[in-house]
Chain A
Amino acid sequence: MAGILVVAEAAGDGVSASSLELLGAAQQLSSQGGGAVSAFVAGQAGANALLQHGAATVYVGTNAALASNMAEVLQPAVQAAIEQSGADIVLIAQSSLGRDLAPALAFANKTGAAMDCVELKINGGRLRVTRAAFGGNARAEHTWKSPLQIATVKGKSFDAPEAGAGGGETKTIDAAGTARITVLGISKAESTGIKLEDAAVVVAGGRGLGDGAAFKMLEDLAGTMPAGAVGASRAACDLGWYPPSQQVGLTGKTVSPNLYIAVAISGASQHMAGMAGSKNIVAINKDPDANMVKVSKFAIIDDFKKVVPALIEEIKKLG
């Protein structure tokens, strides 16, 4: 029996935003003949949100151990949901959990996991996915040989479906794996101001800034706009100029703000992969041939050290 199982992650009194995006992806696949959409979530709290957003069946993991959110503990519960639902497609978010859970499930089922997919479609009754490879320089398309097809989905690649009346059913699963890894504690990343992924405006800097001190200027620019945040390219983070938690790119955060101002970022594919979904891109760069300039709506070809302070003043003047 074909079908799609979404592995959701509980968050607050519902599920994470990326979990709802998975339902959006699952519904697209379902409309292409992928079968019924079911979902798994640990804890009763997330079940309603999944039903309201279109899951026909929600498998609720009831074992208290699942709260650790560790892949090795969740794996048997998700395995049970796969078997009970008869799903042959499993969608998981590309999150800290998903990165561990997807390959663990795949290898245990002698199949493969395609990670961080940006496009999914049903082709001849089977899943076919597209993902970035070689730092975003290339796109690769994969299929599966084994019946079970497991994919993680890159954040912001699909829209969450509208909430409706629901009407599906819930079933409980009690399984949990043995924890071989003991969680001692969790700490939140230090981040001043608004969360990067939620920012309406992201001002980002790259290697071309020349030093870490220049990020102060970008913070000032972001500060002129409500819901403005500062991001950085991988190169800038690797150089220690800005915290890795603020990295935008293939190995960092994926953002899709209304306005993305890229300062001294050439637009290596590594970075583009994390911000290509931005609604409007502005480039400030010395190099007119920079990749970032090509993908921008507006670009200023000049020295950022002169442009950015002037832009801060001009935006302040606009009020």
Chain B
Amino acid sequence: MNIIVCVKQIPDPETPAASFKVDEAAKKVIPAQGIAPVVNPYDPQATEAALRLKEADGGGKVTVISLGPDSARDAIKHALAMGADEGVLLNDPAFGDIDNFQTANALAKAIEKLGGADLVLMGRASADWDMGVVPTGVGQALNVPVVTVAKAIEKGGAGLKVERVLDDGFQSVEVALPAVVSVSNEFGEPRYPQLRQIMMAAKKTVQVWGAADLGLGADEVGAANRAMPLEALYVPKVESNVEIIEGDTPEEKAAVLAQKLRAAKLV
């Protein structure tokens, strides 16, 4: 099976709230000092899914694509170290601050340029903007079905059998290939690259394509051509009115809290 995995590099979502800063004028996040960007937490699961399918198949190829700045090469390298075969970095100043519609379009163009794929896998959302719409956009651009929020994927039936996570349960579906599947955190632990694999990954090919390589015109890229302009970005303010419960022992504090909750008719 020929599989393409799309990954993204994002600011570390574990960044403490106190270190998170925004340049409101530029409508951009100011990178936190000393906290390196990371692979979007859902993406290694997508790579893991690709590798397991390839292993079960006994052949095929896993190509990893990332759209982002030069540093996004690290997100590709991570997938290569996990076991993906080759990488493509979509890198162009015109890709800066584009929206999800433009991103989906660029990824679809890159997938077509790679000759298409039996299966495109990606994380269910990126934890930065957290919209989760790019998988659907890529599927639509490629005119293939999209199965979202997968917790298990196996070859079977008409192509793939996928277990999806719904709001209040699970749904099993079957879909013919080619298809796009987005992978959720419920998929399970992705493998952790070993030192030898990290060294081997350094030798794997990473091509770099710009907007022109993908046949994207000036009217299709750039922040000015967003379908949804970003009007404002800011850190919401939190006001504190907390009453700290005093007491000499934890038990005493618990007793005072119980009384206060009763007085407020909360228990």
Residue positions of A touching B, CB distance < 8 A: 71-72, 95-96, 99-100, 102-104, 106-108, 110-116, 128, 132-135, 137-146, 180-189, 201, 224-225, 238, 244-245, 250-251, 258-259, 267-270, 280, 282-283, 288, 291, 293-303, 306-308, 310-311, 313-315, 317-318
Task: Flag if A183 contacts B173 (CB, 8 Å).
Answer: yes
Task: Flag if A111 contacts B227 (CB, 8 Å).
Answer: yes
Q: Give Cα A140 to B28, complex, Å.
A: 10
Task: Flag if A295 contacts B130 (CB, 8 Å).
Answer: no
With contacts A186-B169, A299-B245, A303-B250 taken as known, whether A110 is within 8 angstroms of B257 at the C-beta atoms is no
Q: Give Cα A95 to B232, complex, Å.
A: 26
Task: Flag if B22 contacts A138 (CB, 8 Å).
Answer: yes
B25 contacts chain A at the CB level, 8 A cutoff: no
Band of interface residues on B:
35 or more
Residue positions of B touching A, CB distance < 8 A: 11, 13-17, 20, 22, 29, 99-101, 104, 125, 127-133, 136-137, 140-141, 145-149, 157-158, 161, 164-176, 185-186, 226-236, 238, 240-245, 249-251, 253-255, 257-262, 264, 266-267
Task: Flag if A145 contacts B137 (CB, 8 Å).
Answer: no
Q: Give Cα A314 to B253, complex, Å.
A: 10
Give the dominant DSSP class at A's interface. mixed
Q: Can you sample 15 A-B contacts with CB below 8 Å?
A: A96-B166, A102-B133, A113-B131, A113-B133, A115-B133, A144-B229, A183-B171, A189-B168, A250-B130, A251-B185, A282-B261, A300-B254, A308-B254, A311-B254, A314-B255
- CB of A107, distance to nearest CB on chain B (Å): 5
Task: Flag if B172 contacts A184 (CB, 8 Å).
Answer: yes
- CB of A189, distance to nearest CB on chain B (Å): 5
Task: Flag if A302 contacts B250 (CB, 8 Å).
Answer: yes
Task: Flag if B17 contacts A103 (CB, 8 Å).
Answer: no
A111-B228, A201-B267, A298-B245 given; 13 more Cβ-contact pairs under 8 Å: A103-B137, A133-B129, A133-B130, A135-B13, A137-B20, A143-B231, A182-B157, A183-B173, A185-B172, A188-B168, A269-B20, A299-B245, A310-B251
- CB of A80, distance to nearest CB on chain B (Å): 18
Q: Give Cα A250 to B132, complex, Å.
A: 12
Q: Give Cα A169 to B130, complex, Å.
A: 37
With contacts A180-B176, A186-B171, A295-B240 taken as known, whether A137 is within 8 angstroms of B254 at the C-beta atoms is no
| A115, A145, A314: the one within 8 Å of B227 (CB) | A145
